[in-house]
C-alpha cells in the first residue's frame, strides 16, 4: 500500500487502540441486538443493563452472531480476560444480578451454540456478535479497512483480477462473477457510473443481509468502496428494505463514522479516489429484489422490471452504467483483498469457491444464520448446526432457496449447497434460505404457500406471471379440496413450465419451481390424492 494510505489507516488504528486500552481495567458487557433478538426483548434487556450496570463496567451493543435461537445473548468480560456468556437473557435475570456473577458461578457452556458454530467458516460474519456494531474503531483494530488500503495501493484492474482469481460469485441468487461485472461496467465509456448495494432481501426465510448490516456494517462499506474503486464509480447507494429499520440505522451511523474518519468522501485515506455513499429505502415487495425493478423504484418509477438487454452494467440507473451487488457479495471482498485470492479460493469446492451464509429456520432446534463452506450438505446444516428436530418431531421435507426455488424430500439430505440450481427439478440455492419441515406440514400445503406468495408478489407487468401464478394456486386449491383430476395435475405442470419460460423477470421465471419440484419428488403422493378423492 502507498505510504499516504498506509499512514492514514495507521493513524485511525492508533486512536482506536488508545480508546480500547483506556477501558482495559473495566468490565465489558456485550449485548447482541439484532432484528431477531428485538422480538424477544433485547432492547428491554439493554435498558435494564443501563440502570444496573456497575461503575467499573461499560455496555457494548453488537449485532446477532447468527445463533438467533439463543437470543438475546450477552457476554461479560472482566478486566482479567475471563468471559461469562448467557443466552435467552431476560430483564429479570439482569435485575437479579445474575449476569454479573463470578465466572466460577457462571452457567455451564451452551452446547447448542457450540455445535451451531463448530463447522462454520466465518468470513463475512467474522466478528458479528462480538464487535461493537456502532464502533468504527473496533472494526479497524480487528483488521478492518486493510483490504481497502491494499486495493487503493494497486490499480483497479489488479483489484478486479484478484477478485476474479478468488472465484467470488454474487451471493444474491444469480451467482454472476463479481469481478466480471465490475470490469463490464468499467469498460462502458458512458459516465457517470453508479454502484448499488442490493439489501432489499424481501423474501420469507432470508435474513442474512440484515445481520451483516446490523453486526458488521463497516465490512459492507469497505467492500462497497473497493467495488466502486475497481469499477471507476464515484457515487454509490445502499438500497435497504423498507421495513429493515434497525439495519438502516446501523448503516447510517457507520457511514457517518466513515465520512468523519476520511474513509468516505474526497480523497479516501489520503488517496486520489473519492466516493459518496447514500442510503435509499426500498419500495417494498419481493419483486424489488430484481435488479431492474430496484432501479425503477430508485428513479421513482413503477415497481416493475425492465427488458434486458441492455443490462445494468451498460444502461442502469438513469441510463448510466451501474454495478449492482448483493450485501453478502461485497462483504466477502475485504477478506479477499486482505488475505489474497488463494485464501478465499481454498474454501469451498473446485467449482464453488468461498462460503455461503445460510438462513436456517423451520422445525430445527437451532434456527439462525450459519456461514458455511460451499459444498456443505443439507444434512450437516440441519442436523449438525441446526441441532436436528425437537424430540417427537420428524423431518419430512426441506424448502430450499425461498419461494423461487422448491421442496426436497428427506432422501436429498446429502445434497451439497452450490451456486445456482442444485437439482434439475428447479430447486436452487438462491439467496440461501433453508426451511426444515416436519410432519405437521404437508407438502401440498407448503407448495401452496410458496405458489400463493409468488402470485401475491407479482408486479403484474407480464401476462404469464400475472395470469399464470394465481391460476397455479387455483389448481392446487382444487387438489386440496379433492376436486382435481389427473389431467389437472398435468395442466399444473405445463402451466408452471410456461410461467417459468415466458415471464419477464427473475420472480416470474422461477415462480413455477415450487410446483415443479413438488411434482417431481412427491408426484406419487399428489397423484394418490387425486385417486383417493
Query: What is the pLDDT averaged over residues 24-30?
Result: 95
Look at residue 113 and tell me if it is in a domain. Answer: no
Look at residue 502 and tell me if it is in a domain. Answer: yes
pLDDT tens readout for residues 365-394: 999 999 999 999 999 999 999 999 999 999
pLDDT for the residue 57: 94
Domain match, 431 and 489 both: no
If one counts the domains in the chain, the total is 4
Q: What is the CATH number of the domain that holds 402?
A: 3.10.20.600
Residue 371 lies in domain: 356-441
The CA distances from residue 67 to 112, 293, 518, in Å, are 9, 33, 30
Instruction: Indicate whether 328 pLDDT > 60.
Output: yes
Could you tell me if residue 482 is left (phi over 0), alpha (psi between -120 and 50 degrees) or otherwise beta?
Answer: left
Domain match, 368 and 314 both: no
Q: Distance between CA 409 and CA 395 in Å, rounded?
A: 9
Q: What is the CATH number of the domain that holds 289?
A: 3.40.50.11540
For the chain, give the mean pLDDT.
94
What is the share, in percent, of the chain residues with pLDDT greater than 90? 87
Closest-CA residue to 429 (of 220, 205, 216): 205
- Going by DSSP bridges, is the β-strand pair 74-77/83-86 parallel, antiparallel, or unpaired? antiparallel
pLDDT tens readout for residues 439-473: 999 999 999 999 999 999 999 999 999 999 999 99
Domain match, 388 and 308 both: no
Domain match, 302 and 153 both: yes
The CA distances from residue 59 to 45, 46, 87, 467, 510, in Å, are 11, 8, 17, 54, 46
Domain match, 311 and 423 both: no
Instruction: Indicate whether 533 pLDDT > 60.
Output: no
Query: What is the pLDDT averaged over residues 397-411?
Result: 94
What is the share, in percent, of the chain residues with pLDDT greater than 70? 97
Domain termination site, one of 321, 345, 369: 345
Look at residue 414 and tell me if it is in a domain. Answer: yes
Residue 431 class from Cβ within 10 Å (0-12 exposed, 13-18 middle, 19+ buried)? buried
Instruction: Indicate whether 520 pLDDT > 70.
Output: yes
pTM score, whole prediction: 0.95
Look at residue 7 and tell me if it is in a domain. Answer: no
Domain match, 420 and 456 both: no
Residues 6+ positions from 305 with CB-CB distance below 8 Å: 287, 290, 292, 293, 296, 459, 461, 504, 505
The DSSP output letter for 380 is I
Instruction: Indicate whether 481 pLDDT > 80.
Output: yes
Look at residue 101 and tell me if it is in a domain. Answer: yes
Domain termination site, one of 297, 317, 345: 345
pLDDT tens readout for residues 261-274: 999 999 999 999 99
Query: What is the pLDDT averaged over residues 291-306?
Result: 94
Query: What is the pLDDT averaged over residues 296-305?
Result: 94
Q: Distance between CA 309 and CA 289 in Å, rounded?
A: 18
Q: What is the CATH number of the domain that holds 57?
A: 3.40.30.10
**Higher model confidence: residue 286 or residue 515?**
515
Residue with cell 415462480: 511
Closest-CA residue to 71 (of 108, 105, 104, 112): 112
Residue with cell 449485532: 63
Find residue 237's DSSP bridge partners: 196, 278
The CA distances from residue 71 to 33, 77, 468, in Å, are 8, 18, 41
pLDDT band at 103 (very low <50, low <70, confident <90, very high): very low
Q: Distance between CA 119 and CA 137 in Å, rounded?
A: 29
pLDDT tens readout for residues 57-83: 999 999 999 999 999 999 999 999 899
Instruction: Indicate whether 364 pLDDT > 70.
Output: yes
pLDDT for the residue 251: 98
Look at residue 233 and tell me if it is in a domain. Answer: yes
Instruction: Indicate whether 105 pLDDT > 50.
Output: no
pLDDT for the residue 108: 55
pLDDT for the residue 104: 44
Domain match, 73 and 143 both: no
Three-class DSSP labels, 29-69: EEEECCHHHHCCCHHHHHHHHHHHCCCCEEEEEECCCCCHH
Task: Yes or no: say if 26 and 56 are a contact pair by the CB < 8 Å rule.
Answer: yes
Query: What is the pLDDT averaged over residues 52-57?
Result: 91
Domain match, 81 and 149 both: no
Domain match, 202 and 279 both: yes
pLDDT tens readout for residues 163-172: 999 999 999 8
Omega before 72 cis (within 30°)?
yes
Domain match, 61 and 155 both: no
Q: Distance between CA 287 and CA 229 in Å, rounded?
A: 29
Domain termination site, one of 305, 320, 345: 345
Instruction: Compute CA 133 distance to the chain's CA centroid, rounded to the nearest angstrom.
Output: 17
Q: Distance between CA 152 and CA 9 in Å, rounded?
A: 12
Q: What is the CATH number of the domain that holds 473?
A: 1.20.1440.230
Find residue 369's DSSP bridge partners: 359
Domain match, 182 and 322 both: yes
Look at residue 3 and tell me if it is in a domain. Answer: no
Task: Yes or no: say if 313 and 233 are a contact pair by the CB < 8 Å rule.
Answer: no
Query: What is the pLDDT averaged over residues 327-351?
Result: 97
pLDDT band at 110 (very low <50, low <70, confident <90, very high): low
Q: Distance between CA 269 and CA 438 in Å, rounded?
A: 53
Number of helices followed by number of strands (H, E) in the chain: 21, 13
Domain match, 163 and 264 both: yes
Look at residue 119 and tell me if it is in a domain. Answer: no
Amino acid at each position: 500500500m502507498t505510504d499516504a494510505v498506509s499512514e492514514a489507516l495507521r493513524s485511525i488504528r492508533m486512536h482506536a487502540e488508545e480508546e480500547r486500552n483506556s477501558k482495559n481495567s473495566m468490565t465489558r458487557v456485550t449485548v447482541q441486538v439484532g432484528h431477531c433478538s428485538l422480538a424477544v426483548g433485547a432492547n428491554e434487556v439493554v435498558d435494564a443493563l443501563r440502570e444496573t450496570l456497575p461503575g467499573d463496567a461499560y455496555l457494548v451493543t453488537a449485532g446477532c452472531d447468527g445463533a438467533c435461537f439463543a437470543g438475546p445473548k450477552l457476554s461479560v468480560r472482566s478486566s482479567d480476560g475471563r468471559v461469562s456468556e448467557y443466552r435467552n437473557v431476560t430483564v429479570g435475570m439482569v435485575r437479579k444480578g445474575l449476569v454479573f456473577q463470578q465466572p466460577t458461578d457462571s452457567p455451564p457452556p451452551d452446547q447448542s451454540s457450540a455445535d451451531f458454530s463448530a463447522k462454520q467458516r466465518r468470513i463475512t460474519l467474522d466478528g458479528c456478535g462480538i464487535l461493537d456494531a456502532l464502533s468504527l474503531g473496533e472494526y479497524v483494530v480487528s483488521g478492518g479497512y486493510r483490504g481497502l488500503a491494499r486495493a487503493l495501493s494497486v490499480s483497479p484492474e489488479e483489484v478486479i483480477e484478484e477478485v476474479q482469481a478468488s472465484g467470488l460469485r454474487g451471493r444474491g441468487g444469480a451467482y454472476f462473477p463479481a469481478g466480471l461485472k465490475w470490469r463490464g461496467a468499467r469498460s462502458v465509456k458512458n459516465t457517470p457510473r453508479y454502484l448499488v448495494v442490493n439489501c432489499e432481501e424481501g423474501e420469507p426465510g432470508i435474513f442474512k443481509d440484515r445481520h451483516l448490516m446490523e453486526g458488521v456494517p463497516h465490512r459492507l462499506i469497505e467492500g462497497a468502496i473497493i467495488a466502486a474503486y475497481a469499477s471507476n464509480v464515484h457515487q454509490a447507494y445502499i438500497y435497504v428494505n423498507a421495513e429493515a429499520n434497525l439495519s438502516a440505522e446501523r448503516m447510517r451511523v457507520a457511514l457517518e463514522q466513515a465520512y468523519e474518519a476520511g474513509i468516505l468522501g474526497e480523497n479516501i485515506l489520503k488517496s486520489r479516489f473519492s466516493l459518496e455513499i447514500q442510503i435509499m429505502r426500498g419500495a417494498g415487495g419481493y419483486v424489488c429484489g430484481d435488479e431492474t425493478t430496484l432501479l425503477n423504484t430508485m428513479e421513482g418509477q413503477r415497481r416493475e422490471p425492465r427488458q434486458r438487454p441492455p443490462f445494468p452494467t451498460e444502461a442502469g440507473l438513469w441510463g448510466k452504467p451501474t454495478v449492482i451487488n448483493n450485501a453478502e457479495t461485497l462483504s466477502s471482498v475485504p477478506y479477499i483483498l486482505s488475505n489474497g485470492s488463494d485464501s478465499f479460493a481454498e474454501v469451498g469446492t473446485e467449482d464453488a469457491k468461498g462460503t455461503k451464509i445460510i438462513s436456517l429456520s423451520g422445525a430445527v432446534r437451532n434456527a439462525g444464520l450459519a456461514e458455511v463452506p460451499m459444498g456443505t450438505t443439507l444434512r450437516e446444516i440441519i442436523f449438525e448446526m441446526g441441532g436436528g428436530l425437537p424430540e417427537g418431531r420428524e423431518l419430512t421435507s426441506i424448502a430450499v432457496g425461498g419461494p423461487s426455488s422448491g421442496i426436497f424430500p428427506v432422501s436429498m439430505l446429502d445434497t451439497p449447497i452450490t451456486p445456482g440450481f442444485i437439482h434439475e427439478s428447479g430447486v436452487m440455492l438462491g439467496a440461501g434460505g433453508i426451511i426444515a419441515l416436519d410432519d405437521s406440514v404437508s407438502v401440498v400445503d407448503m407448495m401452496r404457500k410458496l405458489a400463493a406468495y409468488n402470485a401475491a408478489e407479482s408486479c403484474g407487468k407480464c401476462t404469464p406471471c400475472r395470469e399464470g401464478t394465481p391460476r397455479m394456486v387455483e389448481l392446487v386449491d382444487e387438489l386440496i379440496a379433492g376436486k382435481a383430476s389427473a389431467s389437472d395435475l398435468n395442466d399444473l405442470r405445463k402451466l408452471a413450465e410456461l410461467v417459468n419460460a415466458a415471464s419477464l423477470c427473475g420472480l416470474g421465471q422461477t415462480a413455477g419451481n415450487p410446483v415443479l419440484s413438488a411434482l417431481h419428488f412427491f408426484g406419487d403422493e399428489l397423484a394418490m390424492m387425486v385417486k383417493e378423492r
